[in-house]
């Protein structure tokens, strides 16, 4: 204990002598992009009451800058809004298909804005995702979706593949990638606690907060406090590649931190340096959801390393496929516990998807007005 205490004192002295705290900006680390988005919006967070009107505003600003196809993009957003509002009013077993088509149209806008309109209306857009065959008597744990790319085609776009790669997911080449449905439900951060409750399993996500950034010469350094951490949790996170440091104070209280660092191109941090460190953190694995007022951030020992946005998108496609092709199997596929889990997913995750995808696209944390009556879980 004394040795750890002396090491802690030594480290703090070094930090005080050499490290300088710098501002957390550019929506670091969740939404930081390599290119500037100031032409879309100047703030790194904003409260929005009408997400669809906000998207129309973003599209008009985008088109003004890059001469994109305004009518094409606005039509996609209108379709996304119509399907979304129809889903909210539909019975729960009809919702997934409507939500999926809302997401599909929104994602087409996203991949065009992110690629500065290299696709446009002249391309053919394919789902790029398929569900496995589903039969009566199948168990949810045995079912999956498959991501399919269209690598090399100049005229055809795999929407799912392009979207997932833009969300930072690393997909194999050739791009056929299976995702198990139960694995995705377990890894969906917004319903993870509900999943653990219904499956009598331990939680694999650990919340981090109190983020600070420092510079030390050419070194850029981030530090998150790991909440409710134990030596066992620390060991599990380290085994997944996280740099988890323990710090014991004079009273013997141990605090755990997740630390990452990189070398910059110079001595003054640039936007690109923020982006590269954010990319490093996201590669290690960082997930989040919003309660409408802020984004809560987590790291995980879960083996599925797929972004929150991609998980929600793929799950909505899968359950939408059941709604469309096998509605009579909806009840037989799901146990009573799973039905509650899927209900929670449909009640909460569409809003999470809208806010997260919008935030990722424009490098700005989208929040709800304090007066908004929303359900975020």
Only one residue has tokens 């298909």, namely 97
Residues 256 and 215 in one domain: yes
Residues 296 and 306 in one domain: no
Is residue 263 included in any domain, yes or no?
A: yes
Could you say which of 253, 280, 300 is where a domain stops? 300
What pLDDT was estimated at residue 375? 46
Residues 312 and 195 in one domain: yes
The CA distances from residue 343 to 115, 129, 197, 202, 319, in Å, are 35, 23, 14, 21, 11
Those residues of the chain that have pLDDT short of 70 are 1-17, 117, 174-175, 371-377
Interval 152-167: pLDDT, tens: 777 899 999 999 999 9
Q: What is the pTM of this model?
A: 0.91
Could you say which of 300, 331, 350 is where a domain stops? 300
Q: Report d(CA 273, CA 278) in Å as an integer.
A: 8
> Helix or strand or coil: residue 144?
strand
The CA distances from residue 286 to 29, 35, 206, 230, 280, in Å, are 9, 21, 10, 19, 10
Do residues 45 and 34 make contact, with C-beta atoms less than 8 angstroms apart? no
Residues 176 and 283 in one domain: no
Is residue 110 included in any domain, yes or no?
A: yes
Which tokens in the block code for residue 328? 């009579």
User: Longest C-alpha distance within the chain, in Å?
Assistant: 68
Residues 123 and 232 in one domain: no
Is residue 360 included in any domain, yes or no?
A: yes
What pLDDT was estimated at residue 377? 41
Is residue 36 included in any domain, yes or no?
A: no
Could you say which of 300, 316, 342 is where a domain stops? 300
Residues 293 and 308 in one domain: no
Residues 220 and 193 in one domain: no
The number of angstroms, rounded, from the C-alpha of 151 to the middle of its chain's C-alpha atoms is 24
Residues 60 and 180 in one domain: yes
Residues 156 and 289 in one domain: no
Domain coverage including residue 69: 45-202+302-367
E-state strands within the chain: 20-22, 45-47, 124-126, 129-131, 144-148, 156-158, 176-180, 205-216, 219-226, 244-248, 254-263, 287-290, 295-300, 365-367
Residues 317 and 221 in one domain: no
Residues 106 and 194 in one domain: yes
DSSP H or E stretch at residue 325? helix 308-325
Interval 12-42: pLDDT, tens: 545 555 789 999 999 999 999 998 888 888 8
Residues 280 and 162 in one domain: no
Is residue 143 included in any domain, yes or no?
A: yes
Is residue 33 included in any domain, yes or no?
A: no
Do residues 201 and 360 make contact, with C-beta atoms less than 8 angstroms apart? no
Backbone angles phi, psi at 365, to 5 degrees: -70, 115
What pLDDT was estimated at residue 105? 98
Is residue 35 included in any domain, yes or no?
A: no
Is residue 12 included in any domain, yes or no?
A: yes
Q: Report d(CA 342, CA 228) in Å as an integer.
A: 28
The number of folded domains in the chain is 2
What pLDDT was estimated at residue 12? 52
């Amino acid at each position: 204990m004394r040795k750890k205490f002396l090491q802690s004192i030594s480290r703090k002295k070094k930090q005080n002598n050499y490290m300088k705290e710098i501002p957390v900006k550019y929506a670091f680390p969740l939404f930081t992009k390599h290119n500037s988005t100031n032409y879309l919006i100047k703030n790194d967070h904003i409260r929005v009451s009408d997400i669809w009107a906000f998207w129309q505003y973003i599209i008009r600003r985008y088109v003004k800058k890059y001469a994109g196809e305004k009518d094409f993009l606005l039509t996609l957003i209108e379709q996304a809004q119509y399907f979304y509002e129809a889903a909210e009013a539909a019975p729960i077993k009809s919702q997934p298909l409507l939500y999926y088509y809302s997401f599909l149209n929104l994602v087409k806008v996203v991949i065009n804005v992110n690629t500065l309109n290299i696709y446009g209306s002249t391309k053919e857009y394919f789902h790029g995702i398929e569900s496995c065959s589903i039969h009566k008597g199948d168990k949810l744990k045995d079912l999956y979706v498959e991501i399919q790319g269209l690598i090399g085609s100049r005229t055809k776009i795999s929407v799912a593949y392009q979207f997932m790669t833009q969300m930072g997911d690393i997909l194999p080449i050739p791009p056929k990638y299976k995702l198990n449905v139960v694995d995705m439900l377990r890894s969906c951060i917004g319903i993870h606690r509900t999943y653990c409750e219904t499956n009598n399993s331990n939680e694999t996500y650990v919340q981090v907060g109190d983020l600070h950034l420092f510079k030390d010469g050419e070194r850029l350094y981030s530090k998150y406090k790991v909440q409710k951490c134990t030596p066992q949790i620390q060991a599990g996170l380290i085994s997944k590649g996280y740099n988890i440091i323990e710090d014991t104070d004079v009273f013997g209280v141990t605090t755990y931190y997740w630390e990452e660092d990189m070398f910059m191109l110079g001595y003054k941090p640039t936007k690109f340096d923020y982006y590269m460190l954010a990319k490093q953190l996201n590669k290690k694995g960082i997930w989040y959801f919003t309660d409408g007022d802020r984004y809560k951030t987590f790291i995980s020992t879960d083996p599925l390393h797929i972004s929150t946005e991609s998980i929600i998108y793929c799950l909505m496609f899968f359950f939408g496929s059941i709604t469309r092709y096998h509605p009579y199997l909806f009840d037989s596929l799901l146990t009573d516990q799973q039905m509650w889990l899927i209900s929670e997913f449909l009640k909460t995750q569409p809003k999470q998807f809208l806010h997260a995808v919008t935030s990722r696209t424009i490098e700005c944390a989208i929040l709800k007005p304090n007066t908004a009556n929303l359900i975020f879980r």
